[in-house]
Structure 1
Amino acid sequence: MHPAFSIVFFTTLAGVAQGLVVALALAVLLGPAPSVGFLSAALLLAGVLLLLGLGASFLHLGRPERAWRAVLMWRTSWMSREVIVLPAFIGIVAVWWLALRWGVVTPWATLLPVAALVGAAVLWYCTAMIYACVRFIQEWAHPLTLVNYTLIGLSSGLVLACALAAGYGEAALLRAVAPWALIATLAAWFTRTLALRRNAALKPKSTLQSATGIRAPQLVQKSMGMSAGSFNTREFFHGMGLAAMRQTKLAFLVLGFALPSLLLAWGLLGGPAAVWWLALLVQAPGLVAERWFFFAQARHPQNLYYQQVS
């Protein structure tokens, strides 16, 4: 598939924001509760990230003014459900932030973090199911798609929470969140590696032989009868060579998981406060590369025909 950078940035930014909100909600519910000033600033940042992601998603639309129509298919479309859940989640984060600004306490002090946890979980599920439900794309149609969307979002959000806590001097929160940030990053690394190994071993259900009925083992398409590219050749294949794909995979494994894990471990062992920000800065481009690779690795069956323009 051809990765649309609008969707790459949307899913990455939304995942970070969801992970950050989950970290904040759990800290409020289970302790140690952060200061109101820190909580308010972190929620504001999460809201900004969600709005930036929402804005990026509009760049993918041919007619953005018709985006509201996406909600009409909520009974059958996971994308429609995501379109409904995302603004609802943004609304929960906004109301929680406003409650802090206005000094509203119980019972909202408990209800809003719980609502935020539920909203983040439902949004992860809806976003992942947009791809996991596409059965003819084998790379996506697996429970690991949902697991990876959730764990990668948690990892990035927890790393951001650690960096913010270090910057604001929230030592108790940092001590509580940092181990879970490392665990989430290692878990995301493990499950993403499982998905890569699974996808590498996949055998396409359709081949040129099955599509044409010609059983010759060395069947090769030389031309599809077109002298120029089309929507199909542009949107369903990324156009990158095998070497570039291998380099991208190595880059996101190192930047998205390996180096952040080492930096988080260093921080837990008493490293300087800057190590948490360094982990965040290293992980960010790695996760963008990971999401690009997620889309690029998917092989659409139509490419059996649209392989080559000559």
Structure 2
Amino acid sequence: MHPAASVILFTTLSGAGYGLLFWLGLWLLAGRETLPDLALPALAVGFVLVSVGLLASVAHLGRPLRAWRAFSQWRSSWLSREGMIAVISLAILVALAFALVAGAARGRVDVLALALCVAAALTIYCTARIYSSLRPIPAWHNAWVLPGYAVLAAATGAAWLSLLAALVAQAEALRMVALASLALFVLSVVVKVAYWRHVDRHGAGVDAASALALPAGSRVMPFEAPHTEANFLLKEMGFALARKHGRRLRRIVVMLLCLAPLPVLAAAFLQAGGVLAGAIGVLLAMLAVLVERWLFFAQARHVVMTYYDARPS
């Protein structure tokens, strides 16, 4: 599939934003935040990340001004469901911010924090299901896509929260989130490696022989190309990435994911330089996810490409 920059930004930024909001909601539910010193900056950063990500996804549409029509297909479309829950989560975010500024009762803050956690988690789930529900793309239609996206969203969200905790000198929050981010980044490496092995083992799942109901391994070659010039399918679904480049980029993703929690841990336990270390951790985490997202699209093969390339995949 063509790795469009708009979709890469959407999945990266919105995932980090909702991961941040999820962790903030848990922090508020734990009763750790009595003053809005950490909560309000986290809500603001989460709002910016989510909004920029959603705007990038709208820009990917052929006619962005018609994006509102997607909301009408919520019964069958995960994209529509994701959009609806995203709007609801932003409304909850604004309500929670007003409640914190106004010094609302603890019970009201807890209800809004719980609602924010649920809405953020549901949005992440729906975003992952947009891709994992597509049966014509075997690299996406498998059980590893959802946990892979969710754990990366949680890990990058934790990295952002640790940076904000360092900025406002919330030492307790910084230590707790740093330990959580370490576990999440390690888990993300495990999940992504398992996903890549699954994709490499199963390939496209179909070839020209299976399409013709011939025995597995039969050699089927087209007499000539379907047409003489490139078309929309080749442009959007025929992106080719050399295997050696794919392996190199995978190693870069693993390296960045392994390095990302180290500055976060340093920010939690260093007496000085915590903000700089936290910023480096966020940078490494976001770079890792950007490269991973690019690979996620670039290495996905639509089964329609079998029509153009009859070699077994």
1:67 maps to which residue? 67
Structure 1 gaps of 5+ residues are none
1:117 maps to which residue? 117
Q: Read off the aligned partner of 2:101 and give its amino acid letter.
A: R
**Cα separation, 2, equivalents of 1:121 and 1:179:** 20
**2:271 is the alignment partner of 1:240:** no
2:77 maps to which residue? 77
Cα pair distance change 1:170/1:269, threshold 3 Å: closer
Cα pair distance change 1:269/1:106, threshold 3 Å: closer
C-alpha distance after superposition, 1:158-210 (max 9, x if no partner): 01111111122111111121101111111111111111111111144321223
**Cα separation, 2, equivalents of 1:24 and 1:110:** 12
C-alpha distance after superposition, 1:251-276 (max 9, x if no partner): 22222x11113434444564841222
Cα pair distance change 1:155/1:127, threshold 3 Å: same
* Structure 1 segment 37-186 matched on structure 2, within 5 A: 37-186=37-186
Q: Equivalent residue of 1:36, what SS? A: coil
Question: Would you say the 8 A contact 2:174–2:268 is kept in 1?
Answer: no
Question: Would you say the 8 A contact 1:237–1:296 is kept in 2?
Answer: no
Q: Equivalent residue of 1:197, what SS? A: helix
**Cα separation, 2, equivalents of 1:179 and 1:56:** 32
1:92 Cα offset (Å): 1.0
Q: Equivalent residue of 1:32, what SS? A: coil
TM value normalised by structure 1: 0.91
Q: Read off the aligned partner of 2:126 and give its amino acid letter.
A: C
Kindly report the root-mean-square deviation, in angstroms, between the aligned alpha carbons of the 2 structures: 2.1
Cα pair distance change 1:111/1:241, threshold 3 Å: same
**Cα separation, 2, equivalents of 1:64 and 1:167:** 37
Tell me whether 289-298 or 212-221 shows the greater mean CA deviation: 212-221
**Cα separation, 1, equivalents of 2:213 and 2:38:** 65
Q: Read off the aligned partner of 1:306 and give its amino acid letter.
A: Y
Cα pair distance change 1:220/1:248, threshold 3 Å: farther
Q: Read off the aligned partner of 1:91 and give its amino acid letter.
A: A
2:15 maps to which residue? 15
Tell me whether 270-279 or 186-195 shows the greater mean CA deviation: 270-279
Question: Identity rate of aligned residues, in percent?
Answer: 30
Cα pair distance change 1:213/1:115, threshold 3 Å: closer
TM value normalised by structure 2: 0.91
Which of 298, 301, 309 matches 2:300? Answer: 298
1:233 Cα offset (Å): 0.4
**Cα separation, 2, equivalents of 1:222 and 1:50:** 49
Q: Read off the aligned partner of 1:278 and give its amino acid letter.
A: I
Question: Would you say the 8 A contact 1:10–1:56 is kept in 2?
Answer: yes
Cα pair distance change 1:106/1:93, threshold 3 Å: same
* Structure 1 segment 194-213 matched on structure 2, within 5 A: 194-212=194-212
**Cα separation, 2, equivalents of 1:242 and 1:195:** 16
Q: Equivalent residue of 1:117, what SS? A: helix
**Cα separation, 1, equivalents of 2:79 and 2:49:** 20
Structure 2 gaps of 5+ residues are none
Cα pair distance change 1:269/1:171, threshold 3 Å: closer
Q: Equivalent residue of 1:37, what SS? A: coil
**Cα separation, 2, equivalents of 1:107 and 1:225:** 65
**How many corresponding residue pairs?**
307
Q: Equivalent residue of 2:100, what SS? A: helix
Q: Read off the aligned partner of 2:195 and give its amino acid letter.
A: A
